[in-house]
Structure 1
Amino acid sequence: MRRVGTVVRTAGGLAIARGDAGDDPPRIGASIVDESLSTVGRVVDVFGPIDRPYVAITPGDGVGLADLLGEKLYAR
């Protein structure tokens, strides 16, 4: 498991996480979990600057976007 980043906003039904400096971004389609290892969604896009990219995550069933704001997320 590796850290993806922290959810900084929601847009168009997606959670947008800001990546951490020095970490490689996850692959598109990667499963995303929160700190309690509960699956929250999948990566649908990686964009922005190479050193700290943004990761667009589509939430899974029953996951509220508002609940993800400020959450630290990880790729499985």
Structure 2
Amino acid sequence: MRRVGTVVRTAGGLAIARGDAGAEPPRIGASVVDESLSTVGRVVDVFGPVERPYVAVTPGDGVGLAALVGGKLYAR
């Protein structure tokens, strides 16, 4: 499991996480969990600067986007 980044905002029904500097971004389609290892959703896009990209995550059923802001996400 590797860290995706920290959720900085929501937009268009997606959680937008800022990746960590120097970390390899997750693959599109990777499953995403939060700090308690609860499934949050899947990676649908990776964009922005190569050094520290943004990762767009589509939430799973019943996942509240607003509650994710400020939290750390991890890829399985």
Under a length normalisation based on structure 1, what TM-score does the superposition of the two structures give?
A: 0.99
Output one character per residue of 1:16-45: Cα deviation in whole Å (capped at 9) or x when no partner.
000000100000000000011000000000
* Count of aligned pairs between the two proteins: 76
Cα distance, 1:10 vs structure 2:
0.3
> What is residue 9 of structure 1 aligned with on the other side?
9
Gaps of 5+ in 2: none
SS, match of residue 15 in structure 1: strand
> What is residue 43 of structure 2 aligned with on the other side?
43
Percent identity of the aligned residues? 88
SS, match of residue 44 in structure 1: strand
Cα distance, 1:67 vs structure 2:
0.6
Q: Which residue identity lines up with residue 14 of structure 1 in the other structure?
A: L
Misfit runs of 4+, over 3 Å: none
Gaps of 5+ in 1: none
SS, match of residue 24 in structure 2: coil
Under a length normalisation based on structure 2, what TM-score does the superposition of the two structures give?
A: 0.99
Output one character per residue of 1:46-66: Cα deviation in whole Å (capped at 9) or x when no partner.
000000000000000000110
| Counterpart-to-counterpart distance in 1, 2:52 and 2:10 | 18
